Amino acid sequence: MMWKKSFLVFLFSLSIQNAVLDDDRTKKTDECPSPRLSSQTTVVTKGQNVSLICSIEKKSQTIMYYFYQGDKYLRTKDNGESNIFNLRISEARDLGPYKCKVQDSISSVYRCSKYSPDFNFTLLDPVATPVLNISVIQTEAGLYITLRCISPNGSLPINYTFFEKNAAISPAISKDVRQPAEFNFTKKSTQGDEEYRCEAKNRLLNNAKYSQYSPIPLTDGDGCALCLQLLPVGLLLVLKVIALIPACWILPKYKARKAMRDNVPEDYGHTPMEVGEYEK
């Protein structure tokens, strides 16, 4: 008998508790919604201008927006009428935490004032102009090219992409340590006018940096890089030497004959001209 009664009482109290909880929940979602504080970007760098936007579902002309950093009220230009607050990130303490409040004395929905959840910015260093390093090894398959790219500064992770002229030739290579990104490829032949560069960027928006364009280097430590390209230069040298042989032969004979004809053993006036001819 006794246990039945207490069980019934227990059930009854449970249902009452649930009803109270349900009531609380409907009040929260329907009658007093919290605003949301956001920004175009959550990652910022020193000196950047950003806007905080306080948004709610149902807008009305009579709503007032209040912005706070911690518990400190930030006065807005337009005195709470705008849902946008502009600020400049000058130092670490400008990062947050921010929150906003909406209040409306007319609308029943926002009569109770509610705060948004906290919002923090994350401070990042922008990437510095990256440096591209190219090394080449001649293999049977062609030129084995290694591209290395590193940005000396900028918050990690940094994504690197390699370009030939303006076309990307590598995927984005993500580095979360400050070490060069590396990309290897083989080129069967070269026109000699290829130019490479790399891009470095991190999570900061619109802040990609590019290295200077670099051609394929002519010399490399080991292996015979670009032998094919050097061949024409070598041929030209050989041709020059061949062309010089007759000059070496003829010139002394011509000199001797001239000396005999002019009968002047030492003609300084003509010497520079002769030297000039010899060098041609």
Ligand X SMILES: *[C@@H]1O[C@H](CO)[C@@H](O)[C@H](O)[C@H]1NC(C)=O
120 binds ligand X (CB under 6 A): yes
Nearer to ligand X, 63 or 89 (CB): 89
Which of 59, 106, 152, 192 touches ligand X by CB under 6 A? 152
Q: Tell me which amino acid residue 219 is.
A: T
Least distance CB 95 / ligand X (angstroms): 7
What region does 261 belong to: left with phi over 0, alpha with psi -120 to 50, or beta?
Answer: alpha
Contact criterion met (CB below 8 Å) for 111 and 105: yes
Least distance CB 2 / ligand X (angstroms): 52
Which of 41, 138, 153, 190 touches ligand X by CB under 6 A? 153
94 binds ligand X (CB under 6 A): no
**208, 205, 211: which is closest to 180 by C-alpha?**
211
E-strand stretches of the chain: 36-39, 43-44, 49-55, 64-69, 72-74, 84-88, 98-103, 114-115, 122-123, 131-139, 142-150, 158-164, 167-168, 173-175, 181-187, 195-201, 209-210, 214-215
Which of 16, 32, 172, 243 touches ligand X by CB under 6 A? 172
For residues 173 to 192, the per-residue mask of contacts with ligand X, x marking binding by CB under 6 A and - elsewhere, is -x-------x-x--------
Q: Which residues neighbour 165 within 8 Å (Cβ) at sequence distance 6 or greater? A: 194, 195
Which of 34, 39, 41, 159 touches ligand X by CB under 6 A? 159
Burial 155-170 (b: 16+ CB within 10 A, else e): beebbbbbbbeeeeeb
Question: Which range of residues in 58-66, 74-82, 201-209, 259-267 is near ligand X by CB under 6 A?
Answer: 201-209
223 binds ligand X (CB under 6 A): no
Least distance CB 231 / ligand X (angstroms): 25
Contact criterion met (CB below 8 Å) for 98 and 37: yes
113 binds ligand X (CB under 6 A): no
**140, 163, 16: which is closest to 171 by C-alpha?**
163
49 binds ligand X (CB under 6 A): yes
Round to whole Å and give the CA distance between 256 and 278.
15
Which of 41, 45, 133, 138 touches ligand X by CB under 6 A? 133
Nearer to ligand X, 197 or 201 (CB): 201
* 3-class DSSP state of 50: strand
168 binds ligand X (CB under 6 A): no
Q: What residues line the site for ligand X (CB under 6 A)?
A: 47, 49, 88, 96-97, 118, 120, 125, 128, 133, 135, 146, 152-153, 159, 172, 174, 182, 184, 201-203
